Structure 1
Amino acid sequence: MLLFLLGSALGRARFRSLWGRLPLVDMTDLDRTEAWFARHGGKAVFFGRMIPIFRSLISIPAGIEGMPLPKFLLLTTAGSGIWNTLFVVAGYQLGENWHLVESYAGVLQKVVIVVVLGLVAWWLVRRVRTVRDRAGASRDGQV
């Protein structure tokens, strides 16, 4: 709830202003992201509750984009309920070996971190190349 309220307090206009000041970002990226969230925000909140790292962070764009609080709470409760139920059932089924659930959850979290870092690195390389190519084209008078 705290991150949702933070996103809500920040608001769309202030977030867009901050985003525009960041190096290597383009407002068209934000426009595409906002359009995607407008179409899939409910699914993102629901399924985001089941993905390590994203389970908390998805609350911020939901707040920024003004998702109605009752809808946010319903999707959060449902997604978290399913995720937690899976762990409780797995722990129950494993009995005395319930600690194995932790090791699998840890592996899943590490996989998500590696994938996210890889995607961020890929995005950075692409963005730096685009900026460099634009700068070279404008220097050569090919704008």
Structure 2
Amino acid sequence: MTTQILASVATATTDGSALGGVADWAVNVMETIGAPGAGLAIALENLFPPLPSEVILPLAGFTASQGNFSLVAALVWTTLGSVVGAWALYGLGAWLGRRRMRALVSRVPLIDIEDVDKVEAWFLRHGYKAVFFGRMIPIFRSLISIPAGIERMPIWKFLGLTTAGSLIWNAIFVFSGYYLGESWHIVEEYAGVFQKIVIVVCVLVAVWFVVSKVRSHRRKKQALPQQPQPPQPPQQPVDGE
């Protein structure tokens, strides 16, 4: 079975791209320790976002379709891996804490403490929804755990929302890989378009933020009252005048 899976990976990645290396690695891990290998790969994907879940999850589904392990095992272990990886990042956020975070942010150019206050207020109002839906958005899937830890969201609520959101995201990709079979890589292609859209939106938001902050700082600088010039001392008469 593994030979057929590796052949499918080779067919899907004939250009020698990084996708092929990740897929080969994921297949070898799943071959070595079975469904827990898929969970391990997804846990690492949470900690190292360059590892694409859009490749690992459908490949886990395809591997399950070949009889290496069951579909239920693939879904359970990948979701467990998502929760473990998110919990580790939550712990990082909790260790960082609000005080350290604010001290670090205060050193970042163009960002004021007022901006941090606004983000914290937003997260306090919408944090539960952010954790749940964030599991289904590339890039944010991992990062959303850190502010949850910083704000000390109740751990059981965090784990419950993470499990629910991750289960939905993982099920879409695992089932797709299972039923698409050797065409599992099609899922990654469509997911890649979604990820590019998210990246473009993030870049546009970042550009808007920088431009607006630069303009705001310029307006504040222009609004500052001009400092009065100190009086000049009277000139002493020169002898002979």
Is TM more than 0.5 here?
yes
Cα distance in 2 between the residues matched to 1:37 and 1:58: 10
Task: State the aligned residue count.
Answer: 141
Alignment pair present for 1:102 and 2:206: no
Alignment pair present for 1:2 and 2:88: yes
Cα distance in 1 between the residues matched to 2:175 and 2:88: 29
Letter in 2 for 1:66: R
**Secondary structure of 2:149's match?**
helix
Alignment pair present for 1:21 and 2:110: no
Query: Where do 1:76-115 residues align within 5 Å?
Result: 76-115=162-201
1:59 — aligned with what?
Answer: 145
Cα distance in 2 between the residues matched to 1:23 and 1:102: 37
Structure 2: 5+ residue stretches without partners: 1-86, 228-241
Q: Tell me which moved more, 131-140 or 21-30.
A: 131-140
Residues 64-87 of structure 1 show CA distances to partners (whole Å, capped at 9, x for unaligned) of: 000111111111111010001111
Report how far residue 3 of structure 1 moved.
1.4
Letter in 1 for 2:93: G
Higher helix share goes to which structure? 1
Residues 46-105 of structure 1 show CA distances to partners (whole Å, capped at 9, x for unaligned) of: 100100000000010000000111111111111010001111222334343221101011
Structure with higher Rg: it is 2
Q: CA RMSD in A?
A: 1.5
**Secondary structure of 2:224's match?**
helix
| Fraction of identical pairs, as percent | 61
Q: Tell me which moved more, 132-141 or 17-26.
A: 132-141
Query: Where do 1:18-57 residues align within 5 Å?
Result: 18-57=104-143
Alignment pair present for 1:75 and 2:173: no
Q: Tell me which moved more, 81-90 or 116-125.
A: 81-90
Q: Which residue, 212, 215, 219 being the options, matches 1:129?
A: 215
1:116 — aligned with what?
Answer: 202
Structure 1: 5+ residue stretches without partners: none
Cα distance in 2 between the residues matched to 1:131 and 1:97: 53
Letter in 1 for 2:214: V
1:138 — aligned with what?
Answer: 224
Report how far residue 140 of structure 1 moved.
4.9
**Secondary structure of 2:137's match?**
coil
Letter in 2 for 1:115: V
Cα distance in 1 between the residues matched to 2:179 and 2:219: 56
